[in-house]
Homo-oligomer: A and B are copies of this chain.
Amino acid sequence: MVLGAVRRAGQPSRTEIASVTGLSNSTISAISADLIAEGILAETKSEIASLKRGRPQVAIALNAKAATVVSVVLSLDHLSAATIGYSGEVIVQEDRRLHTLSMSEEELLAECVDIIRKVVARSPHAGPVLRTGLAVQGVTDSAARRLLWSPITPHQNIAFADRIEEVFAVPVSVENDCNMIAEALRWRDPERYRNDFIAILLSHGIGMGVMLKGKVFTGTHSSGGEFGHMIHRPGGALCRCGRHGCVEAYAGNYAIWRNAHGHDENERPVDGIGDEDIRAIAERARTTEGPERAAFRTAGEAIGYGLGNLFALIDAAPIALVGVGASAFDLMERSVRQAIAKTVGGLHSEAISFDTEGNEMQLTRQGSTMQALAFIDNEVFAPQTRDSEVVQSSRIA
């Protein structure tokens, strides 16, 4: 709790921590003394001229060398890893291009292990590595140990956590990229993205991260939130997943490309439609009425109905759009809102806010990092005696 407060506030005084956490000054004093003795926190000379009378506040900060986390982001043809100090600063980062679709499971694992080894080796003065967070495009299990399915590789059910832990003996979590984006948004802009919001990644596929009541929402077994594969039109357009009528089959990169080029909606999805292709189509759509503009309208409609169905279950919430599709949202907003208006969400169709947020890679990494750091805060440095579980089961509600 104290660690969380310090992480959030940066360099708070003990008094500030007390007011944020609601604990008394004496308690904070005792706890921070312990944590400083353990080398987790440190007093710093605050640069803030006090300007006030009275004993000056002593700023407290996280000790950057108390721990290190490794954050790995794996997406289509791209692998990226970084070491991050306990106070959240990036120490070393490394990026690689690879061809994920053609790699074997073992090659993929080896590549991950190798890049982790590299960035750790290049961080000789960092604290001990206590956690590795792997964010992947695709469906992970809810225990965050496996990649169940992913569009970036033909292999399924890859036990990333187990395999990497075998090598490094550091706890590993495997998380869905969009869930990490949601974490990052909450961290970056808690004003706008507080307890309930939805992050949607519009790219080759369509991903979603849902924050509900301040927690990332996951399914019962998997990371859940497979927004892109909700069925928009039963028996409709052919999706990359082999089914018909998924939202993605209307709003994914390949679907927009397919529609913009006037191809049949049951034509096999084309791989490798890049961001540039979509931007080019968007440019043409902005200048002239034609199949390009219609393609974005169709995409917007699918997204709108999908959101409407989502809102039927969880109520309307602010939306953050990420990815190349977000940059073309001006072409879709109208049809998105029109579609939502035809659903339960339509009650507040005007009030729903859409914001486009920047670089999805950065967001993914930041979310993964913050989650890993929070894990160290809550489970390593301040392990909870988990009786809350028992409370749960004995409660009815």
Contacts and interface: CB of A to CB of B under 8 A. Distances in A.
A180 to B, nearest CB: 11
A397 B373 CA distance: 10
A344 interface: yes
A343 interface: yes
A390 interface: yes
B395 A378 contact: yes
A300 to B, nearest CB: 13
B226 A312 contact: yes
Interface in A16-56: 20-22
Interface residues of A, number: 69
B305 A225 contact: no
Contact of A397 (B20, B339, B375): B375
Given A227-B313, A312-B229, A342-B243, A8 B370 contact: no
Nearest to A215: B397
A329 B140 CA distance: 33
Contact of A229 (B187, B315, B343): B343
Interface string A364-397: 0000001101110110000000010011111111
A216 B371 contact: no
B229 A397 contact: no
Contacts of A177: none
A63 B158 CA distance: 54
Given A196-B220, A310-B313, A226 B344 contact: yes
Interface in A131-146: none
- Residue of A216, A226, A232, A244 contacting most chain B CB atoms (<10 Å): A226
B220 A4 contact: no
A1 interface: yes
11 contacts: A1-B394, A4-B395, A4-B396, A196-B220, A213-B220, A227-B313, A229-B343, A233-B234, A234-B301, A235-B342, A371-B396
